[in-house]
Amino acid sequence: MMIIMQPGATQAQIDHVIEHVEGRHLSPHAIVGVEQTIIGAVGESHSVPTSVFETLPGVLSVTRISQPYKLASRQFHPENSVFPLDGFTIGGLEIPIIAGPCSVESRTQIIETAQAVREAGANALRGGVFKPRTSPYAFQGMGEEGLEYMAEARALTGLPIVAEIMAVSQVPVMVKYVDVLQIGARNMQNFNLLRAVGDTRTPVLLKRGMSATVEDLLMAAEYILAGGNERVMLCERGIRTFETATRNTTDINAVPVLKSLTHLPVVLDPSHSTGHFNFVAAVAKAAVAAGADGLIVEVHPDPAHAMSDGIQSLTPENFAKMVRQVKAVAEAVDRRLVTPLPLGEGQG
Amino acid sequence: MMIIMQPGATQAQIDHVIEHVEGRHLSPHAIVGVEQTIIGAVGESHSVPTSVFETLPGVLSVTRISQPYKLASRQFHPENSVFPLDGFTIGGLEIPIIAGPCSVESRTQIIETAQAVREAGANALRGGVFKPRTSPYAFQGMGEEGLEYMAEARALTGLPIVAEIMAVSQVPVMVKYVDVLQIGARNMQNFNLLRAVGDTRTPVLLKRGMSATVEDLLMAAEYILAGGNERVMLCERGIRTFETATRNTTDINAVPVLKSLTHLPVVLDPSHSTGHFNFVAAVAKAAVAAGADGLIVEVHPDPAHAMSDGIQSLTPENFAKMVRQVKAVAEAVDRRLVTPLPLGEGQG
Amino acid sequence: MMIIMQPGATQAQIDHVIEHVEGRHLSPHAIVGVEQTIIGAVGESHSVPTSVFETLPGVLSVTRISQPYKLASRQFHPENSVFPLDGFTIGGLEIPIIAGPCSVESRTQIIETAQAVREAGANALRGGVFKPRTSPYAFQGMGEEGLEYMAEARALTGLPIVAEIMAVSQVPVMVKYVDVLQIGARNMQNFNLLRAVGDTRTPVLLKRGMSATVEDLLMAAEYILAGGNERVMLCERGIRTFETATRNTTDINAVPVLKSLTHLPVVLDPSHSTGHFNFVAAVAKAAVAAGADGLIVEVHPDPAHAMSDGIQSLTPENFAKMVRQVKAVAEAVDRRLVTPLPLGEGQG
Amino acid sequence: MMIIMQPGATQAQIDHVIEHVEGRHLSPHAIVGVEQTIIGAVGESHSVPTSVFETLPGVLSVTRISQPYKLASRQFHPENSVFPLDGFTIGGLEIPIIAGPCSVESRTQIIETAQAVREAGANALRGGVFKPRTSPYAFQGMGEEGLEYMAEARALTGLPIVAEIMAVSQVPVMVKYVDVLQIGARNMQNFNLLRAVGDTRTPVLLKRGMSATVEDLLMAAEYILAGGNERVMLCERGIRTFETATRNTTDINAVPVLKSLTHLPVVLDPSHSTGHFNFVAAVAKAAVAAGADGLIVEVHPDPAHAMSDGIQSLTPENFAKMVRQVKAVAEAVDRRLVTPLPLGEGQG
């Protein structure tokens, strides 16, 4: 911890700070600069609140130096985390693509979509059954009935399924059905939910909150990892900025930044991060070029009639085209898409 | 709903859109401009997704015109909502001040603080017992034990108590103890939690999320109101911007904007919105000058030893000074602080 | 300067950094922490680029400790700068109000407005003659002709005049006519223009850029001060954030933050910072409550026919009402508005 | 123009608005919705300020429908603008790379860098001689002397040169030396400067301001195009957001968004948009994958001793590696890098 004194702080103030540092069983090291003095407080400082020093007379500010996350840190775990999902791995050379509708709307819709995205090259099926909707009057999802249809789609296509969990009470039903638990952007700092999924052993796709920093995202992952659930994928899905030309601003920088700070796989969601089907393929390619380990994309057989997010959903045809383009980019950066199962080899 | 056609859209495309409008049992009204055509779709359009039209050829964009919230809207309820808390009202002429520590840390700490803030002019006591901490390794609050101490502090001082609820499962214990349920910024779009507090009849202090727009905040309030809980206070607590000189940016504009859009009381939290005790009094005065109906302020008897947020906590002395200053400003804008109970008149 | 080593940096890397510190004639002070080492580089470090150290192996980051501005700093000049404009002072107890139209549109308009705002309590007249318009097709201002009308308005009312300068080449004509040179938000980092106004001895009203931090604003002021022009007023006029309910977000925190960092007067522009006449009075009151030293407000005799910014302009009647409200708030915080000249005394 | 009435606006208010629409020689078209009425005002509305209607009783808001830019619009010019620079084209299939130091620091430095970047695959040389520095005390550039060294570097390598212009008064000296005039982010809305470069016939690289929307950028381009200078390249260089892990946030969405809205070439600057050499290659690849037409990259022979921006500069070796990687991505998206001149052929 570094305690930066105000310019003009008196020696008595400096001594007083040093006394407080020692009182916390930390070792003080003063650096007397031309204008300001800085006092390093060395030792087990993690449990010492910065306010112990910030509120002392003559102190300008206090900075923690060490990263506040450990389990998520590449320092703690220098190698990439690579883990298997059903039939493929994430975090290694191959780049899986998760695709499907925003919401499960009917048995037919999800099964048709599953078949279409599988054929187009998807490796997992997404679909929401509990929907975080801004309006209490909007469609809130099909609930467990939707999960049953997703399970049926999995049986027919062999695609593992990804769905969003919104509440601690949904854990039992969700882990019964899904292969990957998604935490949505709005719940990224729902710490009770993070702890609850940390207690499961189901892989988690953790979406970045719309005003969460990269560090906030890693701290949220730390909650899950601290529970013993090691299979966490981080997902960049756009942040909120002043720009209104797109629904969100894809923080493409976050891809290499996260890859440098953490060993966890990094997935990008170009559907939410742009908000418009016209821009999805371009940003999907950019994500893979920048080093993303996976993609999650909204696809709907009939976007004009989607019950939510139609404008950002690709048709199966456009999705197939996107997959072909992404494949070329993946190979250009020495990665590859997942080799698809031969059609017909799902368990159905 | 207004459907804006691309410049150069063909008559066939326009006709096709009109057909779709009619297919949704809406009444189309085309306005042929010099460069672009606009098609109004009039009728019960609330349940029609915009994507029905956005994805049609030749369409540039689709805009909903009407406000997406109803119960929260001043249009629905032109008069200010004024409701009693224990011993005073909020939303009317008088301006209550809620004060107390970030976290309940011990029986002594909360009781001493309650007595100090009451003496300094506070009308309610805040204190966190379930704490939303960025780090899983940080102090997470005292839980129900903390609530017991708060109840004791209420008995001794007569101050009603405000505490944050973080999870649906905490509803029973929280409503047993607290007078006001606080929803924190990070849970503003935890829709399950919003619905759960909407089902109670305990007043709610709903904090704005750090990247939530004013409209998002009103939609979150709508979830609670839709459950039948009418006593919702909105709380501006700073938004996340590029500025790093303060922890958050107080959106002072939001005070008059909210007062124009909604009948609900608007409270401001200058402790979180600035993040530094030095700036709390200035922003508290600004809030009242701008029309806020209440304040919620962090006060700690010994900020240097607070377990959380010490740097933004006022000492009881500084809080008393702030109250005196705020009182003068309140009177300058034809409001008044709550007349305090004579000391000694709490139920204790 | 503090050089923070990566966790796991080797002793050889640390030694290498220390060598480089010495090579720059700075004195190295290493603090060996539990996880990381920090090296302070003490001495005349202002002219040493941080990249000298940032790019060395094993270095995580480099932080400058001292404030990058000097002349603007309260440390350099602990007392408030108080300086006279024509007939009043700014930076002391009294709070001047500058008012007038966005643009000078005609002789009649500016003279009528000047008389109306003077009567309502304004102490200076604003009006744009060179207009920074987003569109090349929009009205760009009346140029020197407008300045002549402003001078005439000054002669009639006694109000000193404030107008925006957009280019170095406008310095001679501007200093000939105006009492205060305004630098607009879009030119806050037009460093050539800053230097040019720094070379004049005309007071400057420097508006904060829409994505400028408080530090950026102070650095821009430093350019002007470094030229020897000491009469700089800083102006908060709203920053760009994700919120779209208002044109900009008034950063009210910036008022007490600036007052703590600098001795220069701080003015607030509630017209641009809200963008809507409905919210101007509330934010004007908030500004004064928070400690602002002055206000600059758009007033137009007929906002519906203003050539620019009509929606954020007050009518003279609403402006007069705002002045009365601001007066009460000013007195509540122990300040006062400028005592107006008796009407009829300005013809000098 | 669409005039949206408040819910509950009276018929008299609606009639009053219609009268004003007619008074402006526009044709009114009312759409009576369930909750609100909307009035379209059709005709030559460009010169009618929105405030004419916004300030009328009963009006909620007024929206312009048509794009405010024309010359920059793809609608006006559906084909990509492709134009030659010295030895290659921009805007077509080939993707030029501009590289060089932040600042020209000496004759040796710029000549060595020019040779190194040419060898590594650069097609043009960048280098600043007038530097927009936040601090008045920082190195402000070599001025015309620097331009002479750049010209010498061009003579030796054949690389056309790109340098930033900061002031109108620099136009004559700049057009004498440089092949491309760069407008920096801080001057994107320096409208006098935009007009001045619009009057030249030298190609312009226009950088997006750090809080400029895509529309603001296109309006700035419109200023230059309106002067008759058709060779404008737009440059995404990162926007200012709440994220502090990188210097700026690369708005990768802006690449496909701009390509859809305008015919002008789009260049990306991964050095400023990330602020750290570690992330430059990843974002350069992302840019090309997303459809960028060119790159501008900071390269310094000895970043640790650069006088500015060393931390974001690549070494020539890392730049060569980046070029190889970008080449593979360009080919994966059916583009190609510029075929370099044979070494030794640039002495003309």
Note the pLDDT tens digit of each residue in D120-178.
999 999 999 998 888 888 888 999 999 999 999 999 999 999 999 999 999 999 999 99
- Other Cβ atoms within 10 Å of B315 Cβ, number: 18
Is some CB atom of chain D closer than 8 A to the CB atom of B42?
yes
Q: Are B165 and B197 in contact (CB under 8 A)?
A: yes
Interchain proximity D211–A245, CB inside 8 Å? no
Closest residue of chain C to B290, computed from CA coordinates: C282
Mean pLDDT lowest for which of A97-106, B33-42, B313-322? B33-42
* Residue A217 banded pLDDT, cuts 50, 70, 90: very high
Cβ within 8 Å, pair C33-A42:
yes
Given a cut of 80, is residue A71 above it in pLDDT?
yes
* Inter-chain CB proximity D36 and B66 less than 8 Å: yes
Closest residue by Cα to residue A146 from A308, A338, A295: A308
CB of C106 within 8 Å of any CB in chain A? no
Q: Do B166 and A311 touch (CB under 8 A)?
A: no
Most B-contacting residue of C236, C253, C324, C337 (CB-CB within 10 A), to test interface: C253
**Chain-chain contact of B226 with A134 (C-beta, under 8 angstroms):** no
What is the pLDDT averaged over residues B175-181?
A: 98
Q: Quick check: A282 and A295 in contact, CB under 8 A?
A: no
Q: What is the pLDDT of residue C79?
A: 96
Task: Tell me which residue of A104, A247, A302 sits closest to B20, measured CA to CA.
Answer: A302
Q: For residues D32 and D34, give the distance between their C-alpha atoms in angstroms, rounded to a whole number.
A: 7
B-chain CB neighbours of C333 within 8 Å are: 285, 325, 328-329
Touching subunits for chain A (3+ Cβ pairs under 8 A): B, C, D
User: How would you class D347 by CB atoms within 10 Å of its CB: exposed for 0-12, middle for 13-18, buried for 19 or more?
Assistant: exposed
Residues in A touching B195 (Cβ below 8 Å): 136
Query: Are B240 and B211 within 8 A, CB to CB?
Result: yes
Mean pLDDT of chain A: 93
Distance (Å, rounded) from C-alpha A116 to C-alpha A108? Answer: 12
CA–CA dist B175, A106 (Å, integer): 38
Angle at C168 between CA D136 and CA D220, to 5 degrees: 95
Q: What is the reported pLDDT for A343?
A: 59
Average pLDDT over residues B24-28: 91
Tell me how close the Cα of A153 comes to any Cα of chain B, in angstroms. 25
- Average model confidence (pLDDT) across chain B: 93
Residue B192 CA to residue D267 CA, distance in Å, equals: 45
Q: Does B325 touch chain C (CB under 8 A)?
A: yes
Q: What percent of chain B has pLDDT over 90?
A: 78
**Cross-strand partners of D182:** D164, D205
Which candidate from D36, D45, D242 shows the least CB-CB separation from B242?
Answer: D242
C50: pLDDT strictly greater than 90: no
Residues in chain A with CB shorter than 8 Å from the CB of D214 are 243, 245
The bridge status of strand A37-42 relative to strand B59-63 is unpaired
Q: Would you call C176 an interface residue with chain D, using a CB distance cutoff of 8 Å? A: no
Q: Which tokens sit at C290?
A: 């928070």
Average pLDDT over residues A9-37: 90
C49 and A CB contact within 8 Å: no
Chain D: nearest CA to C93, how far in angstroms?
A: 31
Are B91 and B292 contacting, i.e. CB atoms less than 8 angstroms apart? no
- Give residues 227 to 246 of C whose Cβ lies within 8 Å of A: 240-242, 244
Which residues are D5's β-sheet partners? D59
- Whether C255 has its CB under 8 Å from any CB of chain B: the answer is yes
The span from the CA of D217 to the CA of D226, in Å, is: 14
pLDDT in tens, B53-80: 988 899 988 988 878 899 999 988 999 9
DSSP line for C138-165: S----THHHHHHHHHHHHHH---EEEE-
**CA neighbor of D311 nearest in space, from C65, C62, C22:** C62
pLDDT at B343 exceeding the cut of 80: no
- Asked whether residue D348 carries a pLDDT value surpassing 50, the answer given is no
Q: Which domains does chain C have, with CATH numbers?
A: 2-63 (3.30.70.1140), 83-337 (3.20.20.70)
Helix (H, G, I), strand (E, B) or coil at C31: strand
Task: Determine the average pLDDT of the residues in B292-297.
Answer: 98
Q: What is the dihedral of CA D160, D164, D168, D169, to 10 degrees?
A: -80
Distance CA B297, CA B295 (A): 6
CA distance A340 to chain C (A): 41
Range in A74-83, B26-35, B166-175 the model is least confident about: B26-35
Is some CB atom of chain D closer than 8 A to the CB atom of C167? yes
Long-range contacts of A61-64 (CB under 8 A, 24+ apart): A61/A4, A62/A1, A62/A2, A62/A3, A62/A4, A63/A1, A63/A2, A63/A4, A63/C63, A64/A1
D219 shares contact with chain C (CB less than 8 Å): yes
Q: Indicate the pLDDT class of residue A144, thresholds 50, 70 and 90.
A: very high
- Under the banding of pLDDT at 50, 70 and 90, the label for residue D107 is very high
Query: How close, in Å, is residue D169 to chain C by CA atoms?
Result: 8
As a whole number, mean pLDDT of residues D65-88 equals 90
Residues A62 and A4 sit within 8 Å (Cβ to Cβ): yes
Whether the pLDDT of residue C324 is over 50: the answer is yes
CB D33 within 8 A of CB B65: yes
Tell me the pTM.
Answer: 0.94
Q: Quote the CA–CA distance of A53 and D155 in Å, as a whole number.
A: 60
What pLDDT is attached to residue A347? 42
Which stretch of DSSP H or E encloses residue A29?
strand A27-32
Q: Is the pLDDT of residue C186 over 60?
A: yes
Chains within contact range of chain B (3+ C-beta pairs < 8 Å): A, C, D
Average pLDDT over residues C256-265: 98
Q: Do D49 and C307 touch (CB under 8 A)?
A: yes
Q: How far is B309 from chain A (nearest CA, A)?
A: 7
Give A280's contacts in chain B (Cβ within 8 Å).
none
Name which residue leads in pLDDT, B345 or D314. Answer: D314
Give the gap in angstroms from C-alpha B214 to the nearest C-alpha of chain C: 7
List C-alpha distances in Å: C166 to B247, C130, C219, C234. 34, 7, 19, 17
DSSP state of C68: S
Q: Is the pLDDT of residue D244 over 50?
A: yes
Q: Is residue D98 a contact partner of residue D126, using CB atoms and an 8 Å limit? A: yes
In chain B, the percentage of residues whose pLDDT exceeds 70 is 98
Reply yes or no on whether the pLDDT at B346 is more than 80.
no
Q: How many CB pairs under 8 A join B and D?
A: 60
Which residue of chain B has the CA closest to C273?
A: B253
Q: CB distance D245–A239 less than 8 Å?
A: no
D138 Cα distance to chain centroid: 25
CB contact under 8 A, A283 and D329: no
Residue B243: partners with Cβ closer than 8 Å, 6 or more residues away:
B249, C213, C214, C239, C251, C253, C254
Q: What angle do CA B30, B36, B42 make, to 5 degrees?
A: 25
- Tell me if C262 sits within 8 A of C75, measured CB to CB: no
Q: Cα–Cα distance between D29 and A156 in angstroms, integer?
A: 54
Per-residue pLDDT at C343: 60
ipTM of the complex: 0.94
DSSP-derived pairing of the beta strands D124-126 and D88-90: unpaired
How many CB atoms neighbour CB A340 within 10 A? 18
> Which residues of C are less than 8 Å from D196 in CB distance?
none
Beta pairing, strands B27-32 & A124-126: unpaired
Query: In a mutagenesis test of the B interface, which of A191, A237, A318 is the best target, namely the one with the most B β-carbons within 10 Å?
Result: A191
User: What is the predicted pLDDT for the residue at D317?
Assistant: 97
Amino acid making up residue B135? S
The answer to whether D125 touches D157, Cβ cutoff 8 Å, is yes
